Amino acid sequence: MTAIESLIDLCEHVAESMGEQVLSHEMVKDEPVLTVKRESICKVLQFLRDDPECQFKQLVSICGVDYPERAERFEVVYNLLSMSQNNRIRVKLATTEEKAVPTATKIFSTAGWFEREAWDLYGIYFEGHTDLRRILTDYGFEGHPLRKDFPLTGYVELRYDESERRVVYEPVKLTQDFRTFDYLSPWEGMTDVQLPGDEKGTVPEHGWEEADKSLPTSKAAKGGK
């Protein structure tokens, strides 16, 4: 039996053991992926940890993914590792901003910080987490910066105010108008030697030696001698 066939059998074993709690299973880039019901995530994780054929005893990461076009826009992805079996598995579930995901902290202690990160960056709420607060952004930060609809400039900026002797938050203000870029290469801005692939205008006086000699020089193109 090949390694891929062994992983497929493992997916089928989990699906048969968990029944309707596993919605689907597949192989993605030679790695097993399970999609489970949101409310069943703890049961599935505990089975993967404790079952003798699985032994996924390490939770490597929990991350969020945002699909704004979906009815349940967020995916929560759990990456597990079995050192004894030398296998990895990925578990996914779908949720929304309003629907809470059961915390996995009672099964894997490492889930605590991972869930805080998903809350901070996506606004995914984990029910039962005892310390669900921001972990990467400031406590006064507005919004969740990894959502697809979060503006690149953010909503507010912070600075230290000397008169008030504290950090203050202010609405974002662009400090300059939009600039027009000509998309010329840096070399064209620094020298009059034309490089291969940079033929965007007239040939400079000291043209690229292999350039088409039939093209006019820069002086000739401008009517010069």
> pLDDT (tens digit, 9 = 90+) per residue, 68-88?
999 999 999 999 999 999 999
Cα four-point dihedral sign 107, 113, 118, 124: positive
Q: Which residues contact 141 (CB under 8 A, 6 or more apart)?
A: 134
Categorize the per-residue pLDDT at 152 as very low, low, confident or very high, splitting at 50, 70 and 90: confident
Report angle CA 125, 123, 22 to the nearest 5 degrees.
50
> DSSP code of 3?
H
User: Does residue 7 or residue 218 have the better pLDDT?
Assistant: 7
What single-letter amino acid sits at 136? L
Report the pLDDT averaged over residues 78-99.
95
Give me the pLDDT at residue 222, please. 47
Residue 168: both structure tokens together: 């203050």
Superfamily of domain 3-150: NADH:ubiquinone oxidoreductase Nqo5 subunit (3.30.460.80)
Residue 127: both structure tokens together: 């029910």
* Number of Cβ atoms within 10 Å of the Cβ of 92: 16
Give me the pLDDT at residue 93, please. 97
Give me the pLDDT at residue 184, please. 59
Residue spans per domain, the chain: 3-150, 181-225
Report the pLDDT averaged over residues 186-199.
57
Categorize the per-residue pLDDT at 3 as very low, low, confident or very high, splitting at 50, 70 and 90: confident
Give me the pLDDT at residue 225, please. 45
Give me the pLDDT at residue 199, please. 60
Entry pTM = 0.73
Distance CA 203, CA 212 (A): 9
- Tell me the per-residue pLDDT of 37-59, one tens digit each, with 9 for 90 and over: 999 999 999 999 999 999 999 99
Question: Nearest 10 degrees: CA dihedral of 76, 77, 80, 86?
Answer: 170
101 exposed, middle or buried (CB, 10 Å; 0-12, 13-18, 19+)?
Answer: buried
